[in-house]
């Protein structure tokens, strides 16, 4: 994954959502769970912007729309290939 829609951390001065990983196998679902349970980050994904969908841009240049469900979030690696 290169970039995706997100909810800004601070809509006034910081309009980026930073997705962190803790391991080479982390997915967007892992990031979401970590944030929701008091880990890194303040906000995750904007469920209202695209009616429960998320636009993701991948490093190979293609874009894909996925559902904001655990199953589909788990298919998007945060840094897959970076650690290889």
Residue 34, SS3 per DSSP: helix
The first and second tokens of residue 41, run together, are: 């980050």
The first and second tokens of residue 47, run together, are: 């469920």
Q: What is the mean pLDDT of the chain?
A: 78
> Which residues are registered as beta bridge partners of 59?
none
pLDDT for res 66 = 92
Residue with tokens 């840094």: 79
Q: What pTM was computed for the model?
A: 0.74
| CA gap 30, 20 in Å, rounded | 10
Domain ranges of the chain: 3-73
Model confidence pLDDT, tens digit, residues 17-39: 667 777 778 888 988 888 887 76
């Amino acid at each position: 994954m290169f970039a995706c829609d997100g909810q800004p951390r601070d809509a006034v001065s910081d309009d980026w959502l930073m997705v962190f990983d803790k391991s080479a196998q982390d997915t967007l679902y892992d990031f979401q769970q970590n944030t929701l349970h008091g880990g890194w980050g303040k906000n995750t994904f904007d469920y209202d912007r695209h009616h429960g969908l998320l636009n993701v841009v991948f490093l190979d240049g293609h874009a894909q729309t996925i559902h904001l469900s655990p199953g589909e979030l788990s298919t998007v690696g945060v840094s897959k290939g970076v650690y290889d």
